[in-house]
């Protein structure tokens, strides 16, 4: 089954996830993770302006978190369960990068809070990528 979904780009997040997934995927790993999650309706998206998308979810996994995350174009992809963990960590990285304490708290409630606290409080994006 192929579902048309949104391809979301963000330079900072690509750096974090490409380091994790470059051995598994060709091309932009962040886009592939996001597309697969969107295809499985774990995340939905709506336009905000010409090149920005608001990602949100009604899933218990993200406690109705909302976040602006980048640009969008049309693509199709598949999804596997391993990427669910990666997208949660991506949301944490983004929350840390934007100092969004509300979102950090929401994600912490879902996932091992001690582990996420360490990620959120880590230093540069490169250090975060290594911990992921």
Helix (H) or strand (E) holding 117: helix 113-120
The structure's pTM equals 0.25
Write the pLDDT tens digit of every residue in 32-87: 555 555 554 444 444 434 333 334 443 333 333 333 333 223 332 333 334 444 55
Token pair 């911990």: residue = 131
Q: What is the pLDDT at residue 43?
A: 45
Q: How many CA atoms lie within 13 A of 90 on its CB side?
A: 30
Q: What percent of the chain shows pLDDT beyond 70?
A: 0
């Amino acid at each position: 089954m192929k579902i048309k979904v949104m391809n979301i780009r963000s330079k900072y997040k690509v750096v974090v996830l490409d380091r994790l997934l470059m051995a598994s995927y060709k091309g932009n790993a962040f886009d592939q993770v996001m597309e697969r999650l969107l295809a499985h309706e774990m995340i939905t998206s709506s336009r905000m302006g010409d090149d920005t998308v608001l990602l949100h979810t009604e899933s218990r996994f993200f406690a109705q978190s909302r976040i602006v995350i980048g640009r969008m174009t049309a693509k199709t992809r598949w999804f596997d369960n391993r990427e669910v963990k990666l997208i949660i960590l991506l949301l944490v990285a983004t929350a840390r990068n934007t100092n969004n304490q509300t979102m950090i708290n929401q994600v912490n409630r879902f996932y091992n809070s001690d582990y996420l606290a360490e990620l959120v409080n880590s230093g540069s994006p490169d250090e975060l990528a290594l911990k992921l």
